[in-house]
């Protein structure tokens, strides 16, 4: 097991009706003026928007609204939010939504406390020195952004989707009521299930040895997500299933499942290029296509690891041929994605092979990096993974 430092300071407020307390929670910290940040009209249709405003006003907290966050959130809205925060003395950014809203809020919070172009942080040209605090009311179990140090943003100039991590991205608090996910449709629920699994699998399939405790935590989280996912797809208002997915979302990306391991997240890096270039591709759907292709490309370099996954997560029989067991685990993962309505081929996303070379070039930063892992992926290797996914 490698040396590690674990830091997950977000206050988790979990359960029924917890969103009704948001005004009092903000007031506890002494904040009096917030930016209310959200996406489209869904929170208004469900009544969450009115409930949040009522709670905030009831606590005597002022707020300014900024809606309009899109899937694959855009830098242009971050710049608008930065301007609002600076001109109005905003003290906290409150994100009401899923991962896209939270990531947009994170970049706004950073931009408002650092001069210059916030895109520089996404390009890792410089590091932030401060940020506004962030609060979250979660409406989608998927990205884990409610407890993570990472954020991903898309710059429409060049169709570049980039992520970066900093401790300033850790939300101050996260309000998580599983009932708020009852209205999430099956496709978005499926996307969330995949994202939760992938945040765990990308840590699991990374170069390190002797991490049995971390492995067991990851395997249990994946199994619980599979079981709860099946229930939630069949019965969207099953509280326990939705609660399991919501808590798994947070645990999958707060670094717990990667402790003591070298983490590289190669599939996420490739998916960023896919949904960056093709904005209609949902992140979870892109991952469900690319993970099986990546796994088939690399598994022979560490078949023992993939066989362990197959045996412990999918119940594949022990004692068989290691490579055959490893491949069976990959195939069962792919079949599960299909079972919950997720695509497993680029063609199902409406994406042809025409953009593969460009995506591979962008993913290597035009030849400036490779993706580490069981096989170090240069542009040729990345192209090969995309081609396996056609």
Q: Confidence class of residue 239 from pLDDT cuts 50, 70 and 90? A: very high
Q: State whether 265 and 359 are in the same domain.
A: yes
pLDDT digits (tens, 9 = 90+) for 322-337: 999 999 999 999 999 9
The CA distance from 57 to 36, in Å, is 12
Q: H/E/C letters for each residue in 215-264? A: HHHHHHHHHHHHHHHHHHHHCCCCHHHHHHHHHHHHHHCCCHHHCCCCCC
Q: Confidence class of residue 184 from pLDDT cuts 50, 70 and 90? A: very high
- Does the pLDDT of residue 342 top 90, yes or no? yes
Residue 65: the pLDDT is: 97
Q: State whether 164 and 205 are in the same domain.
A: no
Q: State whether 101 and 171 are in the same domain.
A: yes
- Does the pLDDT of residue 208 top 90, yes or no? no
**Domain span at residue 170?**
11-180
The beta-strand segments (E) located in 44-187 are 62-66, 92-97, 134-138, 150-155, 160-165, 173-176
For 220, counting Cβ atoms within 10 Å of its Cβ (0-12 exposed, 13-18 middle, 19+ buried), the class is middle
Lowest mean pLDDT among 12-16, 206-210, 250-254, 257-261: 206-210
Residue 319: the pLDDT is: 78
Angle at 286 between CA 285 and CA 290, to 5 degrees: 120
- Does the pLDDT of residue 210 top 90, yes or no? no
- Does the pLDDT of residue 318 top 90, yes or no? no
Judge whether 2 lies within some domain. Answer: no
pLDDT digits (tens, 9 = 90+) for 78-92: 999 999 999 999 999
Task: State percent of the chain over pLDDT 70.
Answer: 100
Domain boundary among 125, 149, 180: 180
Contact 96, 139 (CB under 8 A): yes
How many alpha carbons fall within 13 Å on the CB side of residue 82? 21
Cα-based distances in Å from 274 to 70, 76, 154, 295, 318: 16, 20, 12, 17, 36
Q: State whether 276 and 128 are in the same domain.
A: no
Q: State whether 68 and 149 are in the same domain.
A: yes
Lowest mean pLDDT among 106-120, 201-215, 275-289, 369-383: 201-215
Structure tokens at 14: 């979990």
Strand order through the sheet with 134-138: 11-14, 173-176, 134-138, 92-97, 33-38, 62-66
Q: State whether 60 and 205 are in the same domain.
A: no
Domain boundary among 180, 213, 240: 180
- Does the pLDDT of residue 183 top 90, yes or no? yes
Residue 135: the pLDDT is: 98
Residue 207: the pLDDT is: 84
Q: Confidence class of residue 373 from pLDDT cuts 50, 70 and 90? A: very high
The CA distance from 151 to 166, in Å, is 9
What total number of domains does the chain contain? 2
Strands 62-66, 134-138: pairing is unpaired
Residue 151: the pLDDT is: 96
Judge whether 4 lies within some domain. Answer: no
Q: State whether 134 and 193 are in the same domain.
A: no
Residue 320: the pLDDT is: 81
Judge whether 6 lies within some domain. Answer: no
Judge whether 372 lies within some domain. Answer: yes
- Does the pLDDT of residue 232 top 90, yes or no? yes
Q: State whether 276 and 354 are in the same domain.
A: yes
* CATH for 322: 1.20.1090.10
Judge whether 118 lies within some domain. Answer: yes
The CA distance from 95 to 258, in Å, is 26
Judge whether 310 lies within some domain. Answer: yes
How many alpha carbons fall within 13 Å on the CB side of residue 289? 26
Q: State whether 201 and 173 are in the same domain.
A: no
Judge whether 150 lies within some domain. Answer: yes
Domain boundary among 180, 210, 225: 180
Cα-based distances in Å from 107 to 36, 43, 86, 166, 213: 14, 21, 14, 11, 34
The CA distance from 363 to 277, in Å, is 11
Residue 10: the pLDDT is: 98
Judge whether 5 lies within some domain. Answer: no
Q: State whether 196 and 69 are in the same domain.
A: no
Average model confidence (pLDDT) for the chain? 96
Closest CA to 39 of 107, 123, 105, 114: 105
* CATH for 141: 3.40.50.1970
The CA distance from 45 to 105, in Å, is 22
pLDDT digits (tens, 9 = 90+) for 29-74: 999 999 999 998 899 999 999 999 999 999 999 999 999 999 999 9
Q: State whether 143 and 210 are in the same domain.
A: no
β-strand partners of 74: 154
Q: State whether 302 and 198 are in the same domain.
A: yes
Radius of gyration of the CA atoms of the chain, in A: 20
Cα-based distances in Å from 6 to 126, 255, 258, 265: 23, 7, 10, 18
């Amino acid at each position: 097991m490698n040396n590690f430092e674990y830091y997950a300071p977000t206050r988790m407020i979990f359960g029924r009706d917890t969103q009704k307390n948001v005004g009092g929670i903000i007031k506890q910290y002494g904040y009096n003026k917030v930016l209310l940040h959200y996406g489209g009209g869904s929170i208004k249709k469900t009544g969450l928007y009115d409930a949040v405003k009522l709670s905030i006003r009831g606590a005597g907290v002022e707020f300014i609204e900024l809606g309009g966050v899109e899937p694959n959130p855009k830098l242009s809205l971050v710049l608008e939010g930065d301007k609002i925060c600076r001109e109005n003395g905003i003290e906290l950014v409150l994100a009401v939504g899923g991962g896209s809203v939270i990531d947009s809020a994170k970049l706004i919070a950073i931009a408002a406390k650092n001069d210059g172009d916030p895109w520089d942080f996404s390009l890792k040209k410089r590091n932030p020195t401060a940020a506004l605090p962030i609060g979250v009311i979660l409406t989608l179990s998927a990205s884990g952004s409610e407890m993570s140090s990472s954020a991903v943003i898309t710059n429409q100039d060049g169709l570049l989707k980039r992520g970066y991590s900093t401790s300033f991205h850790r939300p101050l608090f996260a309000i998580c009521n599983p009932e708020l996910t009852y209205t999430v449709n099956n496709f978005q629920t499926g996307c969330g299930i995949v994202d939760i699994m992938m945040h765990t699998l990308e840590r699991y399939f990374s170069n390190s040895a002797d991490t049995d405790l971390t492995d067991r935590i990851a395997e249990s989280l994946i199994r619980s997500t599979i079981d709860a996912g099946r229930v939630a797809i069949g019965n969207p208002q099953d509280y326990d299933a939705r609660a399991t997915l919501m808590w798994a979302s947070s645990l999958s990306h707060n670094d717990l499942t990667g402790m003591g391991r070298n983490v590289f997240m190669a599939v996420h890096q490739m998916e960023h290029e896919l949904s960056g270039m093709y904005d209609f591709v949902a992140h979870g759907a892109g991952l469900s296509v690319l993970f099986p292709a990546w796994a088939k490309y690399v598994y022979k370099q560490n078949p023992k690891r993939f066989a362990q996954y197959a045996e412990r997560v999918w119940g594949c029989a022990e004692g068989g041929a290691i490579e055959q067991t490893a491949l069976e685990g990959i195939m069962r993962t792919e079949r599960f994605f299909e079972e919950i309505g997720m695509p497993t081929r680029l063609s199902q996303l409406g994406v042809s092979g025409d953009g593969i070379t460009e995506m591979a070039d962008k993913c290597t930063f035009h030849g400036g990096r490779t993706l580490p892992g069981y096989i170090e992926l240069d542009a040729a290797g990345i192209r090969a993974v995309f081609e396996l996914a056609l």
